[in-house]
């Protein structure tokens, strides 16, 4: 019994995780590429042209999965950070730091594609729609997390401080989302809503799901790669790193 537990915890230590992650990364990259090609193919060639929005709506195949990922990654990041804080496991904290830039990238991608979508639809780059606004605040939260970790030299302290911020953020995200929604419904000026997506054909949903899978695989691959880099940097004085680099 206890044997098994020790065996599992083995992968919690950087020196055994490092080669394992190295082996996994190419597979995730390959899966990401396959799903991405499939998703884009569904999005551009299979999904029908929308009656009211024409071809421009096709950006939702990037926009919607990117928004999903940005929110989901924040929760994943907070989970890793929380585990790192409570169990004092180095690897979990490294994973949290590795996920943050990817999450921020997806939040930014979501905002950017939202703007590209808004221009042909409503003639403006930016609408103060509840989802776009929440996404913007989410980007701020990611940037805050990364800035805090970058400003602290001692890695342990950076991990712990970042973890508390991520946990505070995760409690706040629903509150922020709810309050922004409430604010949005009270102000008539912003009646345009991004959430009113074109009536969904089943192929569109498939396209978005496949793209979301592609983003998933990409996130895992990139996060693992970044975690490996963080490991090497932090443990540069240990023997296993010297051995691994050679």
Closest to other proteins by CB, 1 or 151: 151
Q: Binding residue for other proteins (CB under 8 A) from 13, 172, 191, 203?
A: 172
Sites for other proteins among residues 110-169 (CB under 8 A): 137, 140-141, 143-144, 147-148, 151-154, 156-157, 160-161, 164-165, 167-169
Measured between alpha carbons, how far is 119 from 133 in angstroms, rounded to an integer? Answer: 16
Residues facing 50 on adjacent strands: 54
- 100 belongs to the binding site for other proteins (CB under 8 A): no
CA distances from 173 to 73, 78, 160, 230, 234 (A): 12, 11, 20, 27, 31
Rg of the chain over all Cα atoms, to the nearest angstrom: 20
Contact 127, 194 (CB under 8 A): yes
Among 9, 27, 125, 183, binds other proteins (CB under 8 A): 183
The count of residues interacting with other proteins (CB under 8 A) is 32
| 88, 225 Cβ separation under 8 angstroms | no
**237 backbone dihedrals φ, ψ, rounded to 5°:** -90, -5
Nearer to other proteins, 10 or 157 (CB): 157
Pick from 175, 196, 245, 246 the residue near other proteins by CB under 8 A. Answer: 175
CB nearer to other proteins: pick between 53 and 193: 193
Which of 6, 51, 237, 239 touches other proteins (CB under 8 A)?
237
What's the farthest any 2 CA atoms get from each other in the chain? 64
Residue 13 sits in the site that holds other proteins (CB under 8 A): no
Q: Is 246 in the site for other proteins (CB under 8 A)?
A: no
Q: Is 77 in the site for other proteins (CB under 8 A)?
A: no
Burial class (CB in 10 A: 0-12, 13-18, 19+), 223: buried
The whole-angstrom separation of Cα 152 and Cα 246 is 30
Residues that bind other proteins (CB under 8 A): 137, 140-141, 143-144, 147-148, 151-154, 156-157, 160-161, 164-165, 167-169, 171-172, 175-176, 178-180, 182-183, 186, 236-237
């Amino acid at each position: 019994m206890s044997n098994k537990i020790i065996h599992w915890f083995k992968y919690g230590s950087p020196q055994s995780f490092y080669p394992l992650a190295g082996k996994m990364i190419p597979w995730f990259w390959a899966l990401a590429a396959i799903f991405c090609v499939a998703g884009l193919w569904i999005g551009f060639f299979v999904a029908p042209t929308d009656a009211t929005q024409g071809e421009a709506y096709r950006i939702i195949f990037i926009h919607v999965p990117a928004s999903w990922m940005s929110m989901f990654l924040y929760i994943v990041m907070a989970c890793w950070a929380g585990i790192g804080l409570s169990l004092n496991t180095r690897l979990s904290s490294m994973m949290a730091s590795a996920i943050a830039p990817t999450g921020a990238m997806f939040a930014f991608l979501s905002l950017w594609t939202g703007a590209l979508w808004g221009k042909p639809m409503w003639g403006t780059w930016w609408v103060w729609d509840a989802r776009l606004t929440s996404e913007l605040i989410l980007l701020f939260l990611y940037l805050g997390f990364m800035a805090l970790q970058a400003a602290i030299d001692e890695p342990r302290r950076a991990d712990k401080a970042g973890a508390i911020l991520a946990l505070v953020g995760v409690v706040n995200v629903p509150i922020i989302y709810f309050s922004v929604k409430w604010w949005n419904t009270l102000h008539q000026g912003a009646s345009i809503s991004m959430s009113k997506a074109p009536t969904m054909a089943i192929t569109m949903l498939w396209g978005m799901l496949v793209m979301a899978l592609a983003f998933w695989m990409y996130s895992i691959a990139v996060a693992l790669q970044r975690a490996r880099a963080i490991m090497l940097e932090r443990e540069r004085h240990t023997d296993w790193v010297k051995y691994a680099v050679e």
